[in-house]
A and B are shown apart, each in its own frame.
Chain A
Amino acid sequence: MNSHEPALDVELDEARSAHFFRMNHLPSRGAHRSLRAWWEAQPWEYRTDGGWDYERLRDGLLSFLAATKGSADRAPLRMLEIRRGRDKSGQPEKFDLVLRPGEVVCLVGPTGAGKSRLLADIECLAQGDTPTGRVVLIDGERPQPETRFTGDGQIVAQITQNMNFVMDLTVAEFLKLHAESRAIASPDSAVRSVLEAAVSMAGEPFGPSTPLTQLSGGQSRALMIADAAFLSPKPVILIDEIENAGVDRTRALEFFVDQGKIVLLSTHDPLLALSGVRRLVIRHGAVQEVIEPSATEKALRQRLAGIDRQLSALRERLRSGERLDSDPATTPAL
């Protein structure tokens, strides 16, 4: 070992450095307890032709070790503010918005009205520098410049109808990988809670050994929702419509609320749109109205929830091969 450069060496006695060696197909660590000692013990052919040099190897190992530390939890978000900007004609917007953990806020408005722009402003933590001129504040403050424009600094998790699982892994393997990437202390119990939550929302049960790519549409969506609620570090969840087949949508929203997420739900489904604490009417590139559900709307929501439960029951019966003309109690006049 070079005694004049002791600070540059890296200790190898952690289990995680073993993982680094396996991942990079490096020759066995043997009994070496320092990276430099191991490197200098390798044959010269390996050191000259193997594609590594000591500096790169060391940087690689430090990166690898830092990745797990870097994903540690941030302080929980207490308040997200969106200061008013301009509409498409440059007219000032009427509302400043304040969103807090556990709130479900719905966005309504036709395609092209500016829903995506509002979501994009939140995603990039706009600072008056986007076409709308909106300013996003986190806990009352402007975000640090170095946390903008980075995946780690982004506060938004997204679930859209276009998303699929593409990895060739089972449900449990995948969830464990995700839990490990978060450096969660007990990944196994985290995996169990996500799986339980997902199955409780999905119409049809599935198990830990089901391959991700074999999940039905509803099962996939349920797993994505449970994972985003329990395993994603992002405090804001952005949902582009939850399709009504195969997912208990009311329960999905409850999971997010329980986990203290801020949910932005772009939907024209009456049951979901009335489930929010308020809904934002987007028109001509700006928030034109903020509506809190009235007593009448809340009563309507109750009725819709009942109809939704009846539809789910009918769907279950169809799935199991029943006829629907047999029992008038569950065959309502809609």
Chain B
Amino acid sequence: MKLVTVAGPPSSGKTAIIVKALGHLQREGRRVGVVKFDCLASHDAELFRAAGIPALVGLSGNFCPDHYFTTNIEDCFAWGRRQDLALLVSESAGLCNRCAPHIRGHLAVCVLDQLAGVHTPLKVGPMLKTADLVLVTKGDIVSQAEREVFAFRVRQVNARARLLFVNGITGQGSWEVSRLWDEAPEDTPLTGGRLRFPVPSAVCSYCLGETAIGAEHQHGTVRKIQIPEAESH
């Protein structure tokens, strides 16, 4: 079984392009499935199931979503194997942009929304920097010139990845995506494998449910903002 990790900011069009790309593979007789990781709520499983794609949903609730992903992806992988899937796609929103669900040896995909602005590639961090394939959505409604500038900005952050313009509504580009997913690495063992980018090392009182503000409530590893001293006259 192949595992493809798809990450991208909320509402960037991940689900739409996954449904379209997997549709091409299904029509060729491949068994495909999805596991959707989200924080508090997700209705995407119904979208996948309506398209005839078996889907699991994992809600991280009070846990750091990326820790939750890492501690659960093995079980999801095993589920995919039991379903006899040829390809399992894991979809997760990059919630604070600090982390990335990409795993060494498995195809890593980042979905970015062209409308989010030209600085977006810099802001999304490791889920873009460590990706093998970058899918840029919503490019059909912006000028060709802006698409080219956006692609350049993506290359400045990740010169190695392939970049494709796709449209989750019309399906433009989804066939090309399905070709690349069909060639994804096969049967890379997950247990003992490594994330491409480490999740945060810090644990502080707020990670454990503290809500009160103030120095006396701050325990564990704390990082303080550096504010330059004002010039005194």
Most buried by B among A23, A148, A151, A154: A151
| Residues of chain B lying within 8 A (CB to CB) of residue A163 | 140-144
The stretch of A63-71, A78-86, A89-97 that contacts the partner chain: A63-71
| Residues of chain B lying within 8 A (CB to CB) of residue A189 | none
**Contacts A150-B164, A151-B165, A181-B152 known; A63 to B159 CB distance under 8 Å?**
yes
**CB nearest to A181 among chain B residues:** B152
| Residues of chain A lying within 8 A (CB to CB) of residue B57 | none
| Residues of chain A lying within 8 A (CB to CB) of residue B31 | none
**Contacts A120-B172, A130-B175 known; A60 to B129 CB distance under 8 Å?**
yes
| Residues of chain A lying within 8 A (CB to CB) of residue B203 | none
Q: CB-defined interface of A215-228 with B at 8 Å, one 1/0 digit per residue?
A: 00000100110011
For chain A, residues 124 to 162, give those with C-beta under 8 angstroms from any C-beta of chain B. Answer: 124, 129-130, 148-152, 154, 157-160, 162
| Residues of chain A lying within 8 A (CB to CB) of residue B151 | 151-152
Beta-carbon contact of B155 and A227 below 8 Å: no
Q: In this assembly, does B214 line the interface, its C-beta being within 8 Å of a C-beta of chain A?
A: no
A167 to B175 alpha-carbon distance, docked (Å) = 29
**CB nearest to B116 among chain A residues:** A166
For chain A, residues 189 to 232, give those with C-beta under 8 angstroms from any C-beta of chain B. Answer: 220, 223-224, 227-228, 231-232
Inter-chain residue pair count (beta carbon < 8 A): 114
Beta-carbon contact of A149 and B164 below 8 Å: yes
Cross-chain contact of B155 among A71, A162, A233 (Cβ < 8 A): A71
A66 to B176 alpha-carbon distance, docked (Å) = 25
Per the CB 8 Å criterion, the residue count for chain B at the interface is 37
Q: In this assembly, does B146 line the interface, its C-beta being within 8 Å of a C-beta of chain A?
A: yes
A178 to B146 alpha-carbon distance, docked (Å) = 8
| Residues of chain A lying within 8 A (CB to CB) of residue B56 | none
Q: In this assembly, does B162 line the interface, its C-beta being within 8 Å of a C-beta of chain A?
A: yes
Beta-carbon contact of B152 and A71 below 8 Å: yes
Q: In this assembly, does A51 line the interface, its C-beta being within 8 Å of a C-beta of chain B?
A: yes
Cross-chain contact of A232 among B98, B145, B157, B180 (Cβ < 8 A): B145
Q: In this assembly, does A277 line the interface, its C-beta being within 8 Å of a C-beta of chain B?
A: no
Cross-chain contact of B118 among A64, A157, A167 (Cβ < 8 A): A167
The secondary-structure label for the interface of chain B is helix
Shortest 10 CB-CB contacts between residues of A and residues of B: A181-B152, A67-B155, A63-B159, A151-B163, A66-B159, A67-B156, A227-B145, A149-B176, A150-B162, A157-B144
Q: In this assembly, does A3 line the interface, its C-beta being within 8 Å of a C-beta of chain B?
A: no
A166 to B144 alpha-carbon distance, docked (Å) = 11
Cross-chain contact of A162 among B140, B172, B175 (Cβ < 8 A): B140
| Residues of chain B lying within 8 A (CB to CB) of residue A64 | 156-157, 159
> In the complex, what's the smallest C-beta–C-beta distance from B114 to chain A, in angstroms?
8
For chain B, residues 103 to 158, give those with C-beta under 8 angstroms from any C-beta of chain A. Answer: 115, 117-118, 122, 125, 129, 136, 140-146, 148-149, 151-153, 155-158
Q: In this assembly, does B30 line the interface, its C-beta being within 8 Å of a C-beta of chain A?
A: no
Per the CB 8 Å criterion, the residue count for chain A at the interface is 50
> In the complex, what's the smallest C-beta–C-beta distance from B48 to chain A, in angstroms?
24
**Contacts A130-B175, A150-B164 known; A70 to B159 CB distance under 8 Å?**
yes
**Contacts A60-B129, A181-B149 known; A124 to B141 CB distance under 8 Å?**
no
Cross-chain contact of B179 among A149, A158, A175, A181 (Cβ < 8 A): A149
**CB nearest to A59 among chain B residues:** B129
A275 to B223 alpha-carbon distance, docked (Å) = 66
A166 to B142 alpha-carbon distance, docked (Å) = 7
**Contacts A66-B159, A70-B155, A130-B175 known; A232 to B122 CB distance under 8 Å?**
no
> In the complex, what's the smallest C-beta–C-beta distance from B135 to chain A, in angstroms?
10
Q: In this assembly, does B160 line the interface, its C-beta being within 8 Å of a C-beta of chain A?
A: yes
Cross-chain contact of A63 among B160, B163, B175 (Cβ < 8 A): B160
Q: In this assembly, does A62 line the interface, its C-beta being within 8 Å of a C-beta of chain B?
A: yes
> In the complex, what's the smallest C-beta–C-beta distance from A224 to chain B, in angstroms?
5
Q: In this assembly, does A49 line the interface, its C-beta being within 8 Å of a C-beta of chain B?
A: yes
> In the complex, what's the smallest C-beta–C-beta distance from B30 to chain A, in angstroms?
16
* Sample of 25 A–B contacts (CB below 8 Å): A49-B223, A59-B129, A60-B129, A63-B129, A63-B155, A63-B156, A63-B159, A66-B159, A71-B152, A148-B176, A151-B151, A159-B143, A166-B115, A167-B146, A167-B149, A174-B149, A177-B118, A178-B145, A178-B149, A181-B148, A224-B143, A224-B145, A227-B143, A231-B148, A233-B148
